[in-house]
Chain A
Amino acid sequence: MNDRMHAWTLTETRAALADGMTTSTELVRHLLDRVQGAGEALNAFITVDVERALERAAASDERRRTGAARSLEGLPIAHKDIFCTRGVRTTCGSKMLENFVPPYDATVVSNLEAAGAVVIGKTNMDEFAMGSSNETSYFGDVRNPWSTACSPGGSSGGSAAAVAARLVAAATGTDTGGSIRQPAALCGLTGLKPTYGRVSRYGMIAFASSLDQAGTLTRSAADAAMLLSVMAGADPHDSTSVDVPVEDYEAELAASVKGKRIGVVREFMVDGNDPENSAALKAAFDVLRSLGAEVVEISLPNIGLSVPTYYVVAPAECSSNLSRFDGVRFGHRVSDPEDLQDLYTRSRAEGFGDEVKRRIMTGTYVLSAGYYDAYYLKAQQVRRLISADFQTAFEQVDLLAGPTTPTCAFRLGEKTDDPITMYLNDIYTIGANLAGLPAISVPCGYAQGLPVGLQLVAPAFGESQLLNLAHQYQLATDWHTHAPEAFA
């Protein structure tokens, strides 16, 4: 028994289990002690699944004893509470689903379990993934392990806080406009959003179906590669999952990046960014150069319209997706409805929080008669312009680079009064969602003592070169190994 097991990355944990240095049961017990001890104050988990986690860890240890270990055998992970887990409450951070126990598993959940991963719990998140600070959760704010007065970012804020605080080595997340990369940047983690359709959305509660994608929050690119290899693939249950062969992402990590052309997005390197963030990024570009990459400047002329485009497209899709919550088949239901309309209206009014209501109302507005062409159709046209900019850029460079966020973590409560200020936190991440491209955030330094994220974007299905470059950067730097002092 090693009392530093929580400090291991997923890759290190896999090796330790294979070498017999520890067992999954010991590991799970150690992590649960942290979750229920020092980790409690972060409010990173909505549900901790002690009994089932220990049962599965024991079964996993037994499997290893009989020589039948699988690729993620016995590795503890956590799931964002947006992924349906059979028999385990799945709330999506909402009062609407406070008591929802799904009758089936999301494909992400079943893929990871089939590879041997052991789920220790479900992490906190912005309600229905709508938020950038984790403050819209019905289950309370999550705190950033680097400074508990600050937000961990969102919407995958619970997953980010849990991995940064060494409560678990890896967690799943979802990214509709930056919800993996932004919290990864704010918590000093590696956050991967794969190509749209690379990972199945089946059983992942839908927010904006043309943007949503599942990914990972880990402490290294190598760990992300390990998980993506298992999570990715076409799924008969999700007709938008894409049937492109899944690569061996771990095998590609070691490749040289010499001669790779990397385009720094001019529109992302602006005076409005925190100067300390900009300095950290410029140092990161120098590291990429020292690895033999060629770093050039590139322009995405229409990227400035990505946030307004997103705040038409995403609410429109959300207003449609969330119409399923009507108090009839699942979710919150008022106790004494007068009639059917009253059942729908009051169940929804009571079950949803303010930000979710605002997005449903915005979506209904942009889709309503008289406004559809001016807003929804217009946004879909601008979306194509933004996407075309990326395609043009990738004719000149292999990957794009820039900041993940304009600033480091902000204080809880600082941006809650004005939705637009909050929305603008995703100014550098939304473009990849609109264009469906894979992107990753890796730690590259500090501003005001808090982590800063370097974002890399690749062409569609370019996960392997994205992870390769991130890994090579992490071999040359050690930012990703730093732990917040209180949770080291």
Chain B
Amino acid sequence: MSIDQSDIDKLAQLSRLEFAESEHADFVSKLGSIVEFVDQLQAAETDGVLPMAHPLDLVQRLRPDTANPNIDRDALQSTTDAVADGLYLVPKVIE
């Protein structure tokens, strides 16, 4: 698969990223070479091989579903100034 500018535009939109016009050629070329590189996987014989999501094939450990006291809200929200009354502030979403 080769990568062109329209792929970059679509991926940028999905990734919530944007690029200056001057960066376009570089991203097309480098992303293209990465995709070309990983394309060698297509030659591998994998019929019937179970995909591996966990390196040790372990299942997620569960804990009792009980409420635990955690870090308090003020401490958590100390990482931004855009808070008011315990809520995060973002630009207006609904008119």
Asked whether, in the complex, the Cβ of A348 is within 8 Å of the Cβ of B55, the reply is: no
Asked whether, in the complex, the Cβ of A312 is within 8 Å of the Cβ of B52, the reply is: no
Asked whether, in the complex, the Cβ of A361 is within 8 Å of the Cβ of B27, the reply is: yes
Please list 14 pairs of residues, one from A and one from B, whose beta carbons are closer than 8 Å in the complex, sorted by A's number. A104-B71, A210-B55, A329-B88, A331-B79, A345-B16, A345-B18, A346-B18, A348-B16, A358-B34, A360-B15, A361-B12, A379-B38, A379-B41, A383-B52
Chain B proximity mask over A138-182: 1 for CB below 8 Å, otherwise 0? 000000000000000000000000000000000000000000000
Which residues, 28 to 43 on B, are CB-close (under 8 Å) to A?
A: 30-31, 33-35, 37-42
Asked whether, in the complex, the Cβ of A242 is within 8 Å of the Cβ of B33, the reply is: no
Query: In the complex, which residue of chain A has the Cβ closest to the Cβ of B14?
Result: A364
Asked whether, in the complex, the Cβ of B58 is within 8 Å of the Cβ of A197, the reply is: yes
Residues on B with C-beta less than 8 A from A103 are 71, 75-76, 78-79
Asked whether, in the complex, the Cβ of B78 is within 8 Å of the Cβ of A326, the reply is: no
Residues on B with C-beta less than 8 A from A319 are 15
Residues on B with C-beta less than 8 A from A8 are none
Asked whether, in the complex, the Cβ of A308 is within 8 Å of the Cβ of B15, the reply is: no
Asked whether, in the complex, the Cβ of B17 is within 8 Å of the Cβ of A345, the reply is: yes
In order of increasing CB-CB distance, the 8 nearest A-B pairs are: A436-B55, A380-B51, A330-B79, A381-B46, A384-B52, A103-B75, A381-B49, A344-B16
Residues on A with C-beta less than 8 A from B67 are none
Which residues, 8 to 39 on A, are CB-close (under 8 Å) to B?
A: none
Asked whether, in the complex, the Cβ of B33 is within 8 Å of the Cβ of A419, the reply is: yes
Asked whether, in the complex, the Cβ of A378 is within 8 Å of the Cβ of B53, the reply is: no
Give A348 to B11 CA distance when docked, in angstroms: 14
Give A218 to B3 CA distance when docked, in angstroms: 43
Which residues, 284 to 313 on A, are CB-close (under 8 Å) to B?
A: 302, 305, 307-309, 311-312
The 8 Å CB contact of A311, one of B19, B23, B34, is B34
Give A211 to B53 CA distance when docked, in angstroms: 10
Give A100 to B81 CA distance when docked, in angstroms: 12
Chain B proximity mask over A367-398: 1 for CB below 8 Å, otherwise 0? 01001001101111111110100000000000
* A contact face: mostly helix, strand, loop, or mixed: helix
Chain B proximity mask over A274-285: 1 for CB below 8 Å, otherwise 0? 000000000000
The 8 Å CB contact of B44, one of A305, A352, A423, is A305
Chain B contact residues, CB within 8 Å of chain A: 1, 3, 7-8, 11-12, 14-19, 23, 27, 30-31, 33-35, 37-42, 44, 46, 49-56, 58, 60-63, 71, 75-80, 82, 88, 90-93
Chain B proximity mask over A165-206: 1 for CB below 8 Å, otherwise 0? 000000000000000000000000000000111000000000
CB distance from B12 to the nearest CB of A (A): 7
Give A202 to B85 CA distance when docked, in angstroms: 28
Binds B, one of A245-253, A332-340, A468-476: A332-340
Give A384 to B38 CA distance when docked, in angstroms: 16
CB distance from A15 to the nearest CB of B (A): 37
CB distance from B44 to the nearest CB of A (A): 5
Residues on A with C-beta less than 8 A from B17 are 345, 348-349, 352, 357, 360-361
Residues on A with C-beta less than 8 A from B42 are 374, 378
Given contacts A384-B52, A436-B56, 5 further A-B contacts (CB under 8 A): A342-B91, A362-B35, A366-B38, A381-B44, A382-B49
Query: In the complex, which residue of chain B has the Cβ closest to the Cβ of A373?
Result: B51
Most buried by B among A236, A326, A345, A361: A361
If A302-B44, A311-B37, A378-B41 touch, whether A365 touches B53 (CB-CB below 8 Å) is no
Asked whether, in the complex, the Cβ of A312 is within 8 Å of the Cβ of B80, the reply is: no
Give A416 to B3 CA distance when docked, in angstroms: 21
Residues on A with C-beta less than 8 A from B12 are 361
Residues on B with C-beta less than 8 A from A265 are none
Asked whether, in the complex, the Cβ of B82 is within 8 Å of the Cβ of A333, the reply is: yes
Asked whether, in the complex, the Cβ of B38 is within 8 Å of the Cβ of A308, the reply is: yes
If A349-B18, A378-B46, A382-B46 touch, whether A387 touches B52 (CB-CB below 8 Å) is yes
The 8 Å CB contact of B56, one of A196, A352, A374, is A196
Query: In the complex, which residue of chain A has the Cβ closest to the Cβ of B72?
Result: A103
Give A365 to B35 CA distance when docked, in angstroms: 9
Residues on A with C-beta less than 8 A from B27 are 357-358, 361
The 8 Å CB contact of A365, one of B7, B71, B79, is B7
Residues on B with C-beta less than 8 A from A311 are 34, 37-38
Residues on B with C-beta less than 8 A from A329 are 77, 79-80, 88
